[in-house]
Amino acid sequence: MRNPSSPPLLRASDIHVAFRRGGLLHRRQHPVLQGLSMTLEEGCCLGIVGESGSGKSTLGRVLVGLLRPDRGEVAVDGKNLYGTGRGASFHPCSVVFQDYVTSVNPRFSVEEIIAEPLRKGRDGARDRKERVLALLEKVGLSSDLLRRRPHQLSGGQLQRICIARAVASRPRFILLDEATSSLDVSVQVQVMDLLAELRRDEGLSLLFITHDLTAVTYLCDAVLFMNDGRIVERVDDLSRLHAVGDIHSRRLLDAATPL
């Protein structure tokens, strides 16, 4: 059981990000994230929901170390993700993206894709192979796929491969950035069932970025609503989701359709 006095797994404090827009002579700073703070507790699946342009994907990039904020701090297990001297070996998280096709090297086999993060470790080739086979089984795929290339797989199979790769390095948390939205509805349900099973078996902590509130209610413990670079509402008890007060949160809720 988690010690209540210990820091959260992930904490973002007063995050500011602005992008430059406009022509050469009249470039202006456009704020994308504006003083945003949030936490992710260990073992939790936290949904981050917002309409297009709300800043949710930019927040995701900040939280996994892909985009340094202009101001603010991101800490994983109390350690500053962007701290001085934090080297390439500090990779506490993995990412599963929406576009599974461009997320993998088209020349790699399934085995090479899943083993990619394992090559940074100390395991030998035999141990890596055993880990890959175990992960394939965990994501519900046959070892017969080991030598196949991405173009020989269905969308659902390839996204399962991406999930296996994300789990391979035993990250502290995984970011799912619209990871189910490009799949057929029936495949979405299968992938979310898989993620729920991996949460239970592997003790995964997840950040699930999406515009689909139905998917959030299927998988998440809590949800953040974003609009215009800010968190406008947080719901920690999804049985109270119907009681959201913010107008943008309500609009997303009203648009949700059952899977």
* Residue 29: pLDDT over 90: no
- How far is it, in rounded angstroms, from Cα 114 to Cα 168? 7
Sheet containing strand 206-210, edge to edge, reads 93-97, 173-177, 206-210, 45-50, 222-227, 230-235
* SS3 state at 206: strand
pLDDT score at 184: 86
Q: What is the DSSP string of 42-69?
A: TT-EEEEEE-TTSSHHHHHHHHTTSS--
Sign of torsion over alpha carbons 99, 101, 63, 67: negative
* SS3 state at 222: strand
DSSP class of residue 150 equals G
CA dist 8 → 44, 76, 235 (Å): 10, 8, 17
**Taking the complete model, does pTM exceed 0.95, yes or no?**
no
Burial class (CB in 10 A: 0-12, 13-18, 19+), 81: buried
Q: Mark 218-235 as b/e (b = at least 16 C-beta within 10 Å).
A: bbbbbbbbbbebbbbbeb
pLDDT score at 57: 93
Give the confidence band of 90 by pLDDT, cuts at 50, 70, 90.
low
Query: What confidence tens digit (pLDDT) does each residue in 30-52 have?
Result: 899 999 999 999 999 999 999 88
Query: What confidence tens digit (pLDDT) does each residue in 121-156 have?
Result: 777 888 899 999 999 999 999 999 999 999 999 999
Residue type, 8: P
* Residue 257: pLDDT over 70: no
